[in-house]
Structure 1
Amino acid sequence: MFGDLRRFDTGRTQGRDWFRQLMDEMLPEAGAADIRSVPHGSFPMINVGRTDDAVRVYVFAAGLSAEDLEVSLQDNVLTVSGRREVAAAPEAARTDFRRERFHGEFSRTLALPDGLDVERAEARFRDGVCEVVLPKREELKPRRIEIQAA
């Protein structure tokens, strides 16, 4: 009768994971049980940052090669898509007790800020991370104005 109740003696570090799991079980259709802007388990994970010269997007795609990814840019919307294949072992030859690795087609889309020079955009792939560099237009880069003595 009480088999589904959780113990409440979790430590501080386990409390967050316990709460996330509890929310996932109570609200599975909601998809987002944490503070990130995408549902838990979205693939690939993406970091976006900016410098004075460019906006940089890091796509974390472990286990993929550059040929498995497609990066496109249209109207300041960046789309990363591709396909991750399932492991080589035949389905009938193994018994999975838990399967957390996503396989199949994926797509992530994010809006970029205005003022980028998309014609000079570059993408590099190394060690499972795709770095997309989107330079800022020259007129929008910060510049130093020299103060002249009167």
Structure 2
Amino acid sequence: MFGNLSSFENDLFGQLERMRREMDALFSGRPGPSGIRSVASGTYPAINVGAGPERVDIYLFVAGIDPKGLDISLQQNLLSIAGTRRAEAPDQVQYYRRERFTGDFRRVISLPEDVDPDKVNARYRDGVLHITVERREEVRPRQIEVR
């Protein structure tokens, strides 16, 4: 009699565990890897974008990439950055864990409508590419003096 009960409990707990995993996957909000260092495929390089009244600042974290090999273009308020990160390890190495991205990448960022495509500046320092795009003069906020 109790043998059946123990079988029932094991099956019930197994089903509850399976349902918990499915609910976690359903409500996690994102498919793919999870964890503090997990990055979804296609999100290299990491980007920070900030906007102020006079310009838009874009920071790309591209350590280990030759800045001369980057292709940066701005067309119709879309900033496009493309390049390649080469593998640094010998071919005969067999990885058991590999977290550093290698290969071609392309990131496209939509910028505000009021940026000036003629006033773009890009600097590379310590593995960070900093791109500034100034806003058009006529749309910048200005102080009006009352007389």
Fold-level similarity (TM above 0.5): yes
Q: Runs of 5+ in structure 2 lacking a partner?
A: 1-13, 18-23
Structure 2 residue aligned with 1:118 = 117
Deviations 1:71-120 (A, max 9, x none): 11111101111000011422x2x231101111110001111111111111
So what's the TM-score if we normalise by structure 1?
Answer: 0.70
Equivalent residue pairs, number: 125
Higher strand share: 2
* Alpha-carbon distance in structure 2 between the residues aligned to 1:111 and 1:120: 16
* Alpha-carbon distance in structure 2 between the residues aligned to 1:115 and 1:95: 50
Q: Runs of 5+ in structure 1 lacking a partner?
A: 6-21
4+ runs deviating over 2 angstroms: 30-34, 38-41
The letter for the 1-side match of 2:46 is M
Identical columns (%): 38
Larger Rg: 2
Q: Which residues in structure 2 correspond to 1:1-150 (within 5 Å)?
A: 23=25, 30-31=31-32, 39=40, 42-90=43-91, 92=92, 94-148=93-147
* Alpha-carbon distance in structure 2 between the residues aligned to 1:76 and 1:137: 12
So what's the TM-score if we normalise by structure 2?
Answer: 0.72
RMSD between superposed Cα atoms in Å: 3.3
Any conservation in 1 of the 2:124–2:130 contact (CA below 8 Å)? yes
